[in-house]
Amino acid sequence: MRTRKNLSLNFVFIAIVLLWLKTYAVYKLNFDIDIENKMQEFILFINPLSFLMIALGFGLFLSGKKQKIYVVATSFILSFILFANAVYYREFSDFITIPLLTQTSNMGDLKSSVGELLNWTDLLLFADVILLAILAFSKTGKISFKKQRTLIVSAFYLSTAGIALFNLGLSESERPELLTRTFDREILVKNIGTYNHHIYDAFLQTKSTAQRAMADGNELAEIENYVRAHYKAPNKEMFGAAKGKNVIVISMESTQNFVIGQKVNGQEITPFLNDFIKESYYFDNFYHQTAQGKTSDSEFLLENSLYPLGRGAVFFTHSGNEYISLAEKLKANSYYTAKLHANNKSFWNRDVIYNNFGYDRFYSLDDYEVNDLNSVGWGMKDIDFFKQSMDHLKEMPQPFYAKFITLTNHFPFELDEEDKFIEEFDSNSRTLNRYFPTVRYTDEALKLFIEDLKKSGLYENSIIVIYGDHYGISENHNKAMEQYLGKEITPFVSTQLQRVPLIIHIPGHEGKQISTAAGQIDLRPTLLNLAGIETKEDIQFGTDLFSKQQDNFVVLRDGSFITEDVVYTKGTCYDKATGEQTSQASCEPYMDQAKSELEYSDKIIYGDLLRFYEKNNK
């Protein structure tokens, strides 16, 4: 009898140990978590344990069939959470958040991407669940499923609390103020674990919901003072340079700057853009600043000159907020405003937030003739999209602001053979290999669109802005990227790969390359100033790209920042000219500004503070 008592906890213990070891294995095999020393490795190893002891330990209060069902079901749920994170991380090098899970209207359009990310080996993530089910429901006298005495349960949970505090203490010693000053979910997972990260994420979600209810207009004063102090006057020669002209903005899906002017297999990747740049303003040091919202984040940056949120997508979480969008400002100055995107209008909640931004018209999937012949991957091919969009463009009253969103160069970068203008790259990454032909296809689509604009007579009366919305090749493909670039992908190089093209074509202006460090947050003030619309009184964090006072400073959503001389990322300061690590003192003068901008922008969004600004300025 004594032996059986000693074995009475085995089922719960087996479940805990199996899930603990499996979680650590996923950390090592599925996540690319940077480990700098043995202490960090130890923290990574122990961080799932306390949560698993709490979650599965409730089985100690149950007996027999109830304990079996509880332990197996809980193991399955936690395994599914681990599986979902592993699949999501495979492409986005990030972890799932609660706001992402609310984006259910996007799921129908994700089939091709999810299918590409799934692997039969993912079934192994549920192997322990299957084993537990076999142990639980097979006839064996070696494992007992009895309810445990209060003394044993108390000792168990006291040990759990001790392990949790020990874990948190070690984490704080490695990363002081872990839960208050980090923008990086990888750091959270590395220190407190995947499961605790989701609990912390739930806390943040609750906190953000409460922020709006408790916000008042007084919070805007400090933000307004900051914005006014950092305002940069527009270039007098460029202010109003495109006044009265149409504004055509094209968002190139997943297009990074490393393809511009480059070749693959001896063939140009972007032959049209390479030529178009020569007669346009080309910004070669321009960064995307998106987070989990990807394309929708880039749209949010363009429209509002505010940073997107670090969790989820503003298009979903705060679509009902008050904003002073680019479209609204242009509309107030007699522009007709339209979005053109041959996708479901509800994807990224666009139908709701476009209306809130003040757009006159959203040309969505229903406004295009889409069939099997003119679509691939995520939807309508770019060449057909632009061709059909010309009819919509011609019917718009002028001047108009028309924003186009392309689709073909979208993960998993599928393309029909007849549409491949160049051959695939040859590496161990199918994603990178297929990326080059889809970029080349979009380049061809842009060439044909510009030709149609010229034929229609719209070209000479329009400024044309072409920019990349976010990265296309994630850090999970670094080995293949090293092969293509011919150099090691360090954190410095990875940050530089976040550059996306920005081309601004203004009729009558000569081409010029501008190397100011800038980002998507700067697009709104730039376009409004070109249109001759003053933005001095607006709350925005961007700066006119043509301003002679431009400060060469850009902040990425993860807290990294780039200046004329340094790059700061993942807690390390790099000399921008050499790419080598340099003294932290070189980056310290900019750290507070980077943190302040992200925090101020978050306050505006979470508190819906612009509703008070609107009231105060009517």
How far from chain centre, in Å, is Cα 553?
A: 20
Maximum separation of any 2 CA atoms in the chain, in Å: 94
The three-class DSSP label of residue 81 is: helix
Task: Kindly report the backbone phi and psi dihedral angles of residue 488, in degrees, each rounded to the nearest multiple of 5, phi listed first.
Answer: -70, 140
Tokens of 397: 């009253």
Neighbours of 355 (CB within 10 A): 11
C-alpha torsion angle, residues 64, 65, 68, 73 (rounded to 10): -150
Contact 46, 160 (CB under 8 A): no
> CA–CA separation, 506 vs 508, rounded Å?
6
Active site residue 295: yes
State the DSSP string of 295-326: HHHHHHHHHHS-PPPSSS-HHHHTTTS----H
Contact 464, 283 (CB under 8 A): no
How far from chain centre, in Å, is Cα 186?
A: 14
Q: Which of 257, 181, 329, 274 is nearest to 520 (CA)?
A: 257
Q: Which of 421, 436, 414 is nearest to 481 (CA)?
A: 436
> CA–CA separation, 171 vs 193, rounded Å?
11
C-alpha torsion angle, residues 110, 113, 199, 36 (rounded to 10): -160
Q: Which of 44, 48, 53, 66 is nearest to 15 (CA)?
A: 53
> CA–CA separation, 156 vs 168, rounded Å?
19
As a whole number of Å, the CA-based R_g of the chain is 27
> CA–CA separation, 162 vs 180, rounded Å?
22
What is the residue type of 248?
I
> CA–CA separation, 584 vs 575, rounded Å?
10
What is the residue type of 21?
L
Q: Which of 198, 202, 186 is nearest to 44 (CA)?
A: 186
Catalytic-role residue among 23, 97, 194, 295: 295
Contact 306, 605 (CB under 8 A): yes
Interacting residues of 272 by C-beta distance below 8 A, sequence separation 6+: 443, 444, 446, 447, 450
- Count Cα atoms within 13 angstroms, Cβ side, for 117: 19
Contact 247, 466 (CB under 8 A): no
Q: How long, in residues, is the chain?
A: 618
Instruction: Tell how strand 502-505 and strand 281-283 pair up.
Output: antiparallel
- SS (HEC) of 95-148: CCCHHHHCCHHHHHHCHHHHHHHCCHHHHHHHHHHHHHHHHHHCCCCCCCCCCC
Interacting residues of 101 by C-beta distance below 8 A, sequence separation 6+: none
Tokens of 4: 């059986």
Catalytic residues: 295
